[in-house]
Structure 1
């Protein structure tokens, strides 16, 4: 099976040269293959034409975002990710747009997500999960320092790179009614599922809220007799029902007897050998995403240039009906409010001047204000970046 495919893009061996003052755009990337999708966005593997670096690129159709009232969430996702950078987060490198889509280019992780590996009947032993707990704890501590609650810690959102350290996507601060302990509860649930293959509570999409509350308040979490006493004690403290009594900080985790022997600096530097390494000889994601892009997609990415050129000629003859006029107005608002981002340029600017430029500082400050206001509790869409290794 091929692990990459040139989706109609001109394949030249000559490395292109781009103006360093030019904003990064769609033309700067070669599209290799589709690897995932969400409710209104898709993900593909791309290669930056000048540096040859590989990334995952998420692209979201503007019209669909407007129709589903998701533009605000996308913008908040961008604002937050522009502010963050950590070894155990999926970091944003570039954001840009065209007439159809908004694009986010992020770290490419070659090991697949943990949900995929669970579905492949991978058994995660205690040593593997212990490292994951440590890595996640460091990432949650970093998010907490920025007043951000993830709110969606689960195997689907925990991604592996080709060497198997854990990485996952960062996402929103919480609203009234709960705080950081919610993420540490989710860490306990996720760790349990990795070890046992199923969750500690039998909850499904059709389980009512009343049933869930009764289940959590009355049922005990049953741990395997094969697990060490230290691990069981840690999980039980993460799964304490009362948030104020739960382990809910990096310090709490580090003081747990089960983890007192951990070299946390080595964890952060990714110097500890993982107990589970994804198979590099197989595709660590669902191959149907590529088939859907080839066969079912009405607006395939590799035909974008021709399509946009054709649309421009059509637009000149369109009527100015109220429906079309309203949509056009919304699209123009999205275009004007979208924030372009280039971490590569930001790093270079910082290295040269020792500080961010006025524009970069303003962008970061706006993002921080947005994440600290505590008034928006919308959950961002899951971002999938499972790729072949």
Structure 2
């Protein structure tokens, strides 16, 4: 066991979860200590998302009829700003077809199934996003030709910014969950420089990007996002997880336009009877009880905070600005007062049903707020929703991202190729050179013993994950199991799973 311990982190052997406290950067650096409740806003995902993609959608009734177009006259300083130039056209369909033809023309490599997945198993295609301490690129697995999004985080930067425990926390959560409206983890591995997460690839971009492109979201579109995110949040609740950072930046669209929740960097796990107390999240989307709990103590907060964030996001998608003028530099004291004195203004162009739904999501008192799937399903505003169709992605979204356009900032690729001091495509040569240099010097004369100690601790504590191998092992019955036992297990697995009130299975699309 390494001498370096990440604060609040404990290791439990093979398949263990790395528990760690974390601190909220987007909220405040000052927090009260509470087990498993701290966090830091983390890695942006760009256009990361869903691997193989859902089956073709068919039309299905979601609401009661067409909705009026949202108002677009933003107040000064709070609207979209000047029109931004459209992203360059990018022929995704031709590009993917070309990649498939290129891969099929050459012999696929065969990797030893007993070998852990590593960087050499993937072909790097292009950079598509970056966050505070990591980047995202599109990759193709060489042996299966499947495409994914790969997040990679530099170990030294994570150590310098005290982010290692946040990465471990996110991995701990992602390795245990899987849902049709989440961005699911497939592989995690490391090398000397970086930690890697390989997740579903979503090419539709995030909702923040589409807001910046002045997309006019209709009520019908926003209503579908609310339903899809309600299913995701209900699943997370069944797993005792509070996301704490639901916002347009963390909602990614697949190519059909369905929403997927990503970025669990400041998520926390709470058990029955527990409450979170940390000031964690992105201030404009944080629920009032988070600020109140931090400022005056009290009993803390729970799953209701994610539903408030969902309401803020839905309002912003419809109107183009948020219901409260909150910024990251606003003091907590002023925000507590703001929620008690300022009332939300709803557009007269919106339907009564949409206003009523938003009012229930944006209720300041969490006890009276819509905060679970059962509340949403029982509401008159969504009474016409066929939830089984929503879960199976049979409801056709009104907004479908342009498949001929690159839904991310194109400068990410230029930065990776030109400005990045350690570009990913040169990693293999760089690591070989570093290894040769390390072998030629006396390790006892290291300039930074602490850094080296931390790097060794990461190397030891990092958990390698392979969902593909996990699924195969679950599908193949053990040879030691009798035929009768196998039959009984198969029958049991065929029975429908009932997880809380969700109608949605936990399988990935």
The structure 1 segments of at least 4 consecutive aligned residues displaced by more than 4 Å after TM superposition are 1-6
Aligned to 1:379: none
The Cα offsets for residues 67-111 of structure 1, whole Å up to 9 and x where unpaired, read as 111111111111100000000000000001111111000000010
Which residue number in structure 1 is paired with residue 63 of structure 2?
Answer: none
Partner of 2:122: 29
2 CA distance for matches of 1:354 and 1:269?
A: 31
Give SS of 1:234's match: helix
Q: How does 1:1-389 map onto structure 2 within 5 Å? A: 13-169=106-262, 171=264, 172-173=267-268, 175-176=276-277, 177-319=300-442, 320-321=444-445, 323-353=447-477
**How far, CA to CA, are the matches of 2:241 and 2:463 in structure 1?**
20
Q: Per-residue deviation at 1:354?
A: 7.5
Structure 2: any 5+ residue segments left out of the alignment? 1-88, 270-275, 278-299, 480-509
Q: How many angstroms apart in 2 are the aligned matches of 1:162 and 1:329? A: 44
Distance in 2 between residues matched to 1:188 and 1:32, nearest whole Å: 36
- SS of match in other structure, 1:34: strand
**Higher mean C-alpha deviation, range 304-313 or range 314-323:** 314-323
Instruction: Compare CA radii of gyration and give the structure with the larger one.
Output: 2
Question: 3-state SS of the aligned residue for 1:135?
Answer: helix
CA distance in 2, matches of 1:242, 1:354: 52
How far apart, CA to CA, are the structure 1 residues paired with 2:245 and 2:186?
22
**Contact preservation (8 Å) 1:89, 1:170:** no
Structure 1 gaps of 5+ residues are 356-389
- Mapped contact 2:189–2:465 kept (Cα < 8 A): yes
Give the aligned partner of residue 386 of structure 1. Answer: none
Q: Give the structure-1-normalised TM-score.
A: 0.87
RMSD: 1.9
Q: Retained in 2: the 8 A contact 1:91–1:107? A: yes
- Between the aligned partners of 2:364 and 2:151, the Cα distance in structure 1 is 36
Using the TM superposition, give the Cα deviation of residue 16 of structure 1 relative to its aligned residue in structure 2, in angstroms. 1.0
Partners of 1:240 and 1:271 in 2: how far apart? 31
Secondary structure in 2 matching 1:353: coil
Matches of 1:318 and 1:211, distance apart in 2: 56
Contact 1:124-1:195 within 8 A present in 2 as well: yes
Q: CA deviation at 1:344?
A: 0.4
